[in-house]
Structure 1
């Protein structure tokens, strides 16, 4: 203990000991100062550890500094000769009781500041979005966050029978718990479309998007287990609305990479060398029973009584070179049988499903660029198509590029707000190759999308978006859309 801080250390030590006495009704107040000092000596090591943790946490240094003055004032008040306060029974409190009340209050304030900081830092960690990463930054205990999206869609061309819609698309709650410095539970609960409906009416649903335990063992090797997000593409893991442009997630990352995609499993994640991160898991496979002409999306099992006769393996690498600030390059894959020991056209099949994806992102001085490409292959597609009565593509692909630029510094130099026009082009085909003798439906599932719009963020937690999508296919017209919406994180 440093010589220039004796009163602060003494105050914290006394406060912690007395806080313990005040919060356990069955334990009497120390009768003498000698007994009090025995309690202080027993808890001195815990106090030093608490102070050390506070010093290591950069986000809490300022809060701890502000509390030091309060600690010193409380120590002076506890050792002074002020008037006795009346107790609940009408009698005057003893000197020891008065000291206990004052110092217990101050130490409880310190503990609250250390566990639940007033200020939150929003940044992605361990493959999660900014809000979902909050549990990794708390000192210990409960963490709560979330996000939401609501939007209006107006069909403005090739409308046909399409109706304009207004939708509370999703409201999400993150609930995490940090048991200690190396064991962390993280959960995402999603409520879609504002209601699950009434009676036979079907609208939204309530889902567990992920629920996983992380065991942080070493920078290069950590364990993750539970209901986990498949680590593919930009959107599947980091899908909070403030992290992408446009009111709708890219179609390539809905139909080729079927976001949001989660399965039961376990695996490893970490940083091999500075800037090179990986995630690799073993997970239960897809279920080919849900495959459709529109893609593999309905083959996701999502941890709901999943059939686990066949397992799959997925892995991802991301590299952020220090020599090129803001650059991210990476790739991922998912490989596994989807037959799940079921009969198709009278026999069991493997339906080996392969998906490969590469991506690049660069953010530099207000400029933002993204590009992603994905290719998939499905085995035994002919047998699946025959059994299901619709064409299942043996090959599929998709890609998109996107560019945006923050123009707010040009409009308002000292503003911390954000305003970015963006443009995205997508192309995907879920029936890029079909089994011999089966129809590709005239190219209806071969689509390309031109999308442009604006993203405005008055603060980093809120994104107000407007965009226009022109959707075309070889198989006939698809309605164009004007979308207006708001997304938020907390």
Structure 2
């Protein structure tokens, strides 16, 4: 995922724009802009060019010694191109939507599955040609202290789901850890009750549960919120809660949690053998962002636990054996971990704050660094088969903002893995474990995020 990113812009559209506030929950930005302008149109976008200095083989973690000298490779990509539309109907009723094209795609993609013998596989990633990340009606009560929102809503678990616009992180791509182990951007049809009280913001959500058939060893529950059908199966339900505090100037601290059952949330009937399996998923997360004294500092920590991981893995593996030759099968059927973790911190200083001309022009140049660690299989019976999911990543670079709505990004990143403890074994010993190859990359990019109308 470490990439060189070049994000295409359409600056002629950015007339009378206002930047989204990085401290504000994403859906709040849509609502506040709509309330101020009745009809609002905005969006954000990224386009990507990548140079990765490591092998792109699907087998590079199974036999790392064979790929240590592979040539570098490059990619072009459109990670996210989004259009926001909002409208204020009056009397406290507002409408908001976010329509997203991911990777320039139309809902399906061909992938080489490392966990499924490297076969080419057409993955159904979502049940439509575009991702409708937000589509809700909101009723404001008590002057904003209480709101009721229904529709397709963002599930704000962790930092990146709540703050997913490209001006909310320094790196070219979204933070890897949260984007790997959880759905990202996590959105589902549901009901939300939220509001603001002095220096606090709260939100509680009622949702359908995730689908454990879409969990994987590489990505934990990342694919669990998607549905290949024209509807989302809701045999199980879940709840999400987020609380943010803004009492200290320039500082936001947030905590969030999620709990719900994930097994049987499909059209298939497992049978009585699995009557006691629920696949209860619990996630707890904390994050903060500080914007003061010409510094921006952001951090997060996320921990997730999945009950019945071994039984679900066995069930998925049995289904893989039975259904692997079926065309259009949307599920992965791999082993799953019982715990996953991600944490990270980034900090950037505005160099232009020390140059009077740049301050007057409101141009900014942040020199930043980021460190993160994540593991999609932090524990579980099959942990030894997925040691490569325990990853560390460092990134250093610059963010240059000539105007509020545009950020030009550049970074060098270095993903690395723990060295195996071979206790002095010779490299030709059958017990010797080969170390994984490190994965450096260089990235450059430009992003836009603003309101056109």
**Pairing of 1:143-292 with structure 2 (within 5 A):** 143-157=40-54, 160=70, 163-196=73-106, 206-218=130-142, 219-272=144-197, 274-292=198-216
Alpha carbon RMSD of aligned pairs, Å?
2.6
Deviation per CA, 1:420-449: give whole Å up to 9, x if none.
Answer: 0111100011111103xx343251100000
**TM-score (normalised: structure 2):** 0.75
Secondary structure at 2:362 match in 1: coil
- In the TM superposition, residue 350 of structure 1 has moved relative to its aligned partner by 0.8
Deviation per CA, 1:229-267: give whole Å up to 9, x if none.
Answer: 101222213211122211111112212332111111102
**Pairing of 1:273-422 with structure 2 (within 5 A):** 274-294=198-218, 295-301=220-226, 304-321=230-247, 324-340=248-264, 342-344=268-270, 346-348=273-275, 349-389=277-317, 390-411=334-355, 412-422=358-368
Secondary structure at 1:441 match in 2: helix
Which structure has the highest helix share of the two? 1
Residue correspondences, number: 367
Is the 8 Å Cα contact of residues 471 and 479 (structure 1) preserved in structure 2? yes
Counterpart residue number, 2:437: 477
Distance 1:417 1:130 in 2: 26
Secondary structure at 1:136 match in 2: helix
Secondary structure at 2:234 match in 1: coil
- In the TM superposition, residue 340 of structure 1 has moved relative to its aligned partner by 2.9
**Pairing of 1:37-76 with structure 2 (within 5 A):** none
Is the 8 Å Cα contact of residues 183 and 214 (structure 1) preserved in structure 2? yes
Match status 1:428 vs 2:374? yes
Which structure has the highest strand share of the two? 2
Segments ≥4 residues shifted beyond 6 Å: 197-204
**TM-score (normalised: structure 1):** 0.70
- In the TM superposition, residue 211 of structure 1 has moved relative to its aligned partner by 0.7
- In the TM superposition, residue 131 of structure 1 has moved relative to its aligned partner by 6.1
Distance 1:189 1:283 in 2: 20
State which structure, 1 or 2, has the greater radius of gyration over its C-alpha atoms.
1
- Alignment counterpart, residue 463 of structure 1, candidates 397, 407, 412: 407
Structure 2 residue ranges without an equivalent (≥5): 1-14, 57-69, 112-121, 318-333, 419-434
Worse-matched range after superposition: 466-475 or 400-409: 466-475
Is the 8 Å Cα contact of residues 84 and 99 (structure 2) preserved in structure 1? yes
Distance 2:230 2:71 in 1: 34
Deviation per CA, 1:91-118: give whole Å up to 9, x if none.
Answer: xxxxxxxxxxxxxxxxxxxxxxxxxxx8
Deviation per CA, 1:339-377: give whole Å up to 9, x if none.
Answer: 135555842421001100011221112111111101000
Change (3 A) 1:311 1:162: farther
Secondary structure at 2:442 match in 1: strand
Counterpart residue number, 1:449: 393
Distance 1:364 1:408 in 2: 14
Distance 2:35 2:95 in 1: 13
Is the 8 Å Cα contact of residues 308 and 340 (structure 1) preserved in structure 2? no
Deviation per CA, 1:444-483: give whole Å up to 9, x if none.
Answer: 1000001111101100100100011101124622532111
Distance 1:197 1:265 in 2: 22
Higher RCO, 1 vs 2 (CA within 8 Å, ≥6 residues apart): 2
Is the 8 Å Cα contact of residues 20 and 449 (structure 2) preserved in structure 1? no
Secondary structure at 1:421 match in 2: strand
Change (3 A) 1:136 1:258: same
Is the 8 Å Cα contact of residues 55 and 71 (structure 2) preserved in structure 1? no
